[in-house]
């Protein structure tokens, strides 16, 4: 091996050996060298060993722009100084690259879903996954360690006009980052100490009987996937994601029962939902094989695209409201359409059940709520499921809806109430 100070002149004068690569080692900085390949390509190299370990060699770069002898020497000096401190810069770079790949936000979200949400957030997993899908494009494959509080603030600023969604995103990200800290993947959450967005006031929206009639009629014009979903939301009073992800294995149509498993229920409690006559009729109308997910276009995943179908539903609902107003001799242009959400159907149904005389504890059992009369000590010791009472309540609600639906042939907007027989 040739030795000498590696200068521009030495590099320019270095010649190739057609039989093997040639190495010239610097006489001043031990471990810094020049390699000349058989074809004459010149590059700067470093040879080193960490704490008496095996000798290793790494390439700095080819001679020329940007690597001059002086720049290569400065890099080698810093590199070898770190080696003297017991570090291996090459290995650190490999590990940093691996960590960046493993901590890439989009990949880490999938890991969080599999190792945490799947086990601990069974009831809200689908909703949480939906939120994380919205966030993924913002952070893409940026490592968690590179995400700052300002980055999260910028994301949340895009949801100022949607306060409920803004709060949900903050809540999910807070859990994700805290879990990463627990796993040892982060030293501290980038949003530790960050104030959560203000809580959104509880909604009070309850659809009127006239609105329910128009909604029912409008839903009849939706696709074979979204029509039954909307109508089952009205008839069963269950949550949107629970209905949308309904599986044929959960249904016993002969006995008119839907067994919602604990892993799909928001509160993690299995729930038996009696199916009324109208609910069974909606399911009986469905064609195709009766296995797997009921409402699906792929056969693998549950139906999506609720925003688009909701816009179409609202548009048709308003048209029907105006048509009926005109038949009553009212000015259709004065019809006011008050925005509503699918979750408002649960509140609407619960309100109607109370008006029909259904006891509050039965209403909570229908909704699968573990709160109020079914929470606290009562929830621990009173495991009565109110199965017969739930069936009677939903049958009464179905009868009331049938009275409302009969308004199709009537322009009256006052519908008499059926009474719940205890």
Q: CA torsion, points 101, 172, 139, 149, in degrees to nearest 10?
A: -100
Given this model, what pLDDT does residue 124 score? Answer: 74
Asked if residue 306 and residue 245 are part of one domain, the reply reads yes
Looking at the predicted structure, is the pLDDT value of residue 99 above 80? no
Looking at the predicted structure, is the pLDDT value of residue 420 above 90? no
Rounded to the nearest integer, the mean pLDDT of the chain is 87
Distance (Å, rounded) from C-alpha 289 to C-alpha 303? 16
Q: Does residue 416 lie in a domain region?
A: no
Q: Does residue 191 lie in a domain region?
A: no
Given this model, what pLDDT does residue 165 score? Answer: 87
**Residues 6+ away with beta carbon under 8 Å from 400:** 352, 356, 415, 417, 418
CB-based burial of residue 286 (10 Å sphere; 0-12 exposed, 13-18 middle, 19+ buried)? Answer: middle
Looking at the predicted structure, is the pLDDT value of residue 381 above 50? no
Given this model, what pLDDT does residue 383 score? Answer: 45
Looking at the predicted structure, is the pLDDT value of residue 119 above 60? yes
Q: Does residue 278 lie in a domain region?
A: yes
Given this model, what pLDDT does residue 298 score? Answer: 85
Distance (Å, rounded) from C-alpha 250 to C-alpha 259? 5
Q: CA dist 120 to 60, 180, 263, Å?
A: 48, 15, 10
pLDDT tens column, 37-56: 999 999 999 999 998 889 99
Q: What is the CATH number of the domain that holds 122?
A: 1.10.150.130
SS3 of residue 260 by DSSP? strand
Question: Which tokens hold the place of 182?
Answer: 């627990």
Asked if residue 219 and residue 150 are part of one domain, the reply reads no
DSSP notation for 111-140? HHIIIIIHHH-TTTHHHHHHHHHHHHHHHT
Asked if residue 270 and residue 399 are part of one domain, the reply reads yes
Asked if residue 123 and residue 48 are part of one domain, the reply reads no
Q: Does residue 197 lie in a domain region?
A: no
Asked if residue 58 and residue 156 are part of one domain, the reply reads no
Given this model, what pLDDT does residue 367 score? Answer: 94
Range from 21-35, 110-124, 131-145 carrying the lowest mean pLDDT: 110-124
Given this model, what pLDDT does residue 46 score? Answer: 95
pLDDT tens column, 331-367: 999 999 999 999 999 999 999 999 999 999 999 999 9
Given this model, what pLDDT does residue 396 score? Answer: 94
Asked if residue 108 and residue 78 are part of one domain, the reply reads no
**H or E stretch at 313:** helix 306-327
Q: Among all chains, which residue has been given the structure tokens 């939706």?
A: 222
- What residues make up the domain containing 348? 209-409
Given this model, what pLDDT does residue 380 score? Answer: 43
Over residues 190-210, the mean pLDDT reads 87
Asked if residue 87 and residue 110 are part of one domain, the reply reads no
103 pLDDT band (50/70/90 cuts)? confident
Range from 3-17, 146-160, 321-335, 375-389 carrying the lowest mean pLDDT: 375-389
Asked if residue 380 and residue 330 are part of one domain, the reply reads yes
Asked if residue 109 and residue 84 are part of one domain, the reply reads no
Q: How many CA atoms lie within 13 A of 167 on its CB side?
A: 8
Q: Does residue 129 lie in a domain region?
A: yes
Better pLDDT: 88 or 199: 88
Looking at the predicted structure, is the pLDDT value of residue 81 above 70? yes
Asked if residue 113 and residue 231 are part of one domain, the reply reads no
Range from 48-52, 310-314, 380-384 carrying the lowest mean pLDDT: 380-384
Q: What is the CATH number of the domain that holds 33?
A: 3.30.160.390
Given this model, what pLDDT does residue 414 score? Answer: 46
Looking at the predicted structure, is the pLDDT value of residue 101 above 90? no
Given this model, what pLDDT does residue 342 score? Answer: 94
Q: CA dist 113 to 34, 119, 132, 172, 304, Å?
A: 50, 9, 9, 11, 19
Given this model, what pLDDT does residue 129 score? Answer: 85
Give the other-Cβ count within 10 Å of 70's Cβ: 11
Q: What is the CATH number of the domain that holds 267?
A: 1.10.443.10
- Among candidates 97, 41, 35, which has minimal Cα distance to 72? 35
Whether the Cβ atoms of residue 105 and residue 144 lie closer than 8 Å to each other? yes
When computed from its CA atoms, the radius of gyration of the chain, rounded to whole angstroms, is 34
For the chain, helix, strand, coil in percent to 5 are 50, 10, 40
SS3 of residue 346 by DSSP? helix
Share of residues in the chain with pLDDT > 70 (%): 92
Distance (Å, rounded) from C-alpha 348 to C-alpha 357? 15
Q: Does residue 58 lie in a domain region?
A: yes
Domain stops at, among 63, 91, 119: 91
Domain stops at, among 53, 70, 91: 91
Q: Does residue 187 lie in a domain region?
A: no
Given this model, what pLDDT does residue 91 score? Answer: 87
Q: Does residue 204 lie in a domain region?
A: no
Domain stops at, among 59, 91, 123: 91
Over residues 364-386, the mean pLDDT reads 63
Asked if residue 272 and residue 220 are part of one domain, the reply reads yes
Share of residues in the chain with pLDDT > 90 (%): 62
Given this model, what pLDDT does residue 287 score? Answer: 84
State how many domains the chain has.
3
DSSP notation for 190-202? TTTTPPPPPPPPP
pLDDT tens column, 217-249: 999 999 989 999 999 999 999 999 899 999 999
411 pLDDT band (50/70/90 cuts)? low
Distance (Å, rounded) from C-alpha 173 to C-alpha 73? 45
412 pLDDT band (50/70/90 cuts)? low
What backbone torsions phi and psi does residue 327 show, to the nearest 5 degrees? Answer: -65, -30
Whether the Cβ atoms of residue 55 and residue 90 lie closer than 8 Å to each other? no
CB-based burial of residue 345 (10 Å sphere; 0-12 exposed, 13-18 middle, 19+ buried)? Answer: buried
410 pLDDT band (50/70/90 cuts)? low
Question: Which tokens hold the place of 295?
Answer: 């409402």
pLDDT tens column, 254-300: 999 999 998 888 777 889 999 999 999 999 999 888 889 999 888 88
- Among candidates 222, 262, 218, which has minimal Cα distance to 242? 262
Asked if residue 282 and residue 347 are part of one domain, the reply reads yes
Whether the Cβ atoms of residue 106 and residue 136 lie closer than 8 Å to each other? yes
Whether the Cβ atoms of residue 343 and residue 371 lie closer than 8 Å to each other? no
pTM above 0.85, yes or no: no
Over residues 173-197, the mean pLDDT reads 92
């Amino acid at each position: 091996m040739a030795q000498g100070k590696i200068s521009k002149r030495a590099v320019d004068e270095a010649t190739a050996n057609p039989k093997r690569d040639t190495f010239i080692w610097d006489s001043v900085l031990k471990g810094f060298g020049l390699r000349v390949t058989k074809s004459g390509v010149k590059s700067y190299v470093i040879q080193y060993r960490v704490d008496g370990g095996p000798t290793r060699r790494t390439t700095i770069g080819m001679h020329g722009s940007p690597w001059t002898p002086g720049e290569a020497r400065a890099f080698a000096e810093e590199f070898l100084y770190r080696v003297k401190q017991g570090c291996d810069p090459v290995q650190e770079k490999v590990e940093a690259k691996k960590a960046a790949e493993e901590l890439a936000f989009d990949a880490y979200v999938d890991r969080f879903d599999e190792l945490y949400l799947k086990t601990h957030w069974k009831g809200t997993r689908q909703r949480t996954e939906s939120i994380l899908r919205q966030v993924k494009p913002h952070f893409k494959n940026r490592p968690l360690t590179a995400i700052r509080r300002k980055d999260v603030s910028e994301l949340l600023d895009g949801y100022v006009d949607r306060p409920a969604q803004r709060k949900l995103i903050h809540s999910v990200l807070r859990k994700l980052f805290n879990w990463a800290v627990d796993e040892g993947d982060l030293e501290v959450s980038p949003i530790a100490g960050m104030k959560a967005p203000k809580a959104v006031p509880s909604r009070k929206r309850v659809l009127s009987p006239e609105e329910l009639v128009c909604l029912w009629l409008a839903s009849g014009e939706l696709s074979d996937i979204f029509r039954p979903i909307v109508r089952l939301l009205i008839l069963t009073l269950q949550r949107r994601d629970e209905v949308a992800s309904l599986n044929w294995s959960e249904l016993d149509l002969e006995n008119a029962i839907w067994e919602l498993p604990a892993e799909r229920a928001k509160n993690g409690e299995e729930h038996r939902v009696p199916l009324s006559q109208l609910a069974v009729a909606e399911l009986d109308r469905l064609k195709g094989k009766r296995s797997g997910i009921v409402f699906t276009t792929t056969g693998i995943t549950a139906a999506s695209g609720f925003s688009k179908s909701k816009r179409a539903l609202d548009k048709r609902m308003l048209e029907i409201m105006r048509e009926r107003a005109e038949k009553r001799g009212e000015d259709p242009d004065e019809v006011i359409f008050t925005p509503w959400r699918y979750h408002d159907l649960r509140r609407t149904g619960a309100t109607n059940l109370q008006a029909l005389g259904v006891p509050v504890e039965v209403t909570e059992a229908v909704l699968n709520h573990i709160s109020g009369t079914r929470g606290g000590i009562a929830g621990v010791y009173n495991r009565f499921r109110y199965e017969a009472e739930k069936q009677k309540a939903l049958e009464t609600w179905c009868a009331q809806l049938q009275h409302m639906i009969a308004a199709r042939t009537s322009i009256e907007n006052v519908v008499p109430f059926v009474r719940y027989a205890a």
